[in-house]
């Protein structure tokens, strides 16, 4: 019996480490890896396929600014704002194209 109690006491901190609290102190499950809050796909003109070649995507939230990255050429999705809430505007630019600025995105 004592082994079972000791076993449980050893693993309770591990179970608690895998939960987070929201603003209302409700326990919610957390992931072990960071999750991107913003994922942006870019298509040029009337193209149906998405691209990252020569494209710059910048997310702004007040004084905070982050250049989003598209690390995989086969899946050119720009990601950023990892584990960060805010009110973002996204600016997409590429030489030879008009710069696009989004409306505010709340997250």
Q: What is the pLDDT of residues 28-71, one digit of tens each?
A: 566 677 788 888 888 887 767 788 888 899 999 999 999 998 87
Report pTM.
0.67
In 52-104, the DSSP E strands lie at 56-61, 64-68, 77-82, 87-93, 100-101
Question: Has residue 84 got a pLDDT over 50?
Answer: yes
| Helix or strand run (H / E) with residue 27 | strand 27-29
List the domain boundaries for the chain.
Answer: 2-106
Q: What is the pLDDT of residues 86-106, one digit of tens each?
A: 999 999 998 988 999 999 999
Distance CA 70, CA 53 (A): 9
pLDDT value at residue 19: 53
């Amino acid at each position: 019996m004592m082994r079972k109690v000791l076993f449980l006491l050893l693993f309770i901190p591990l179970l608690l480490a895998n939960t987070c609290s929201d603003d209302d102190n409700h326990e919610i499950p957390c992931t072990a890896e960071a999750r991107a809050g913003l994922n942006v796909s870019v298509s040029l003109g009337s193209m149906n396929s998405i691209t990252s070649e020569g494209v710059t995507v910048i997310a702004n939230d007040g004084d905070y600014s982050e250049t989003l990255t598209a690390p995989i050429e086969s899946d050119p999705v720009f990601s950023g704002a990892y584990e960060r809430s805010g009110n973002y505007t996204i600016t997409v630019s590429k030489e030879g194209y008009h710069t696009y600025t989004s409306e505010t995105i709340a997250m």
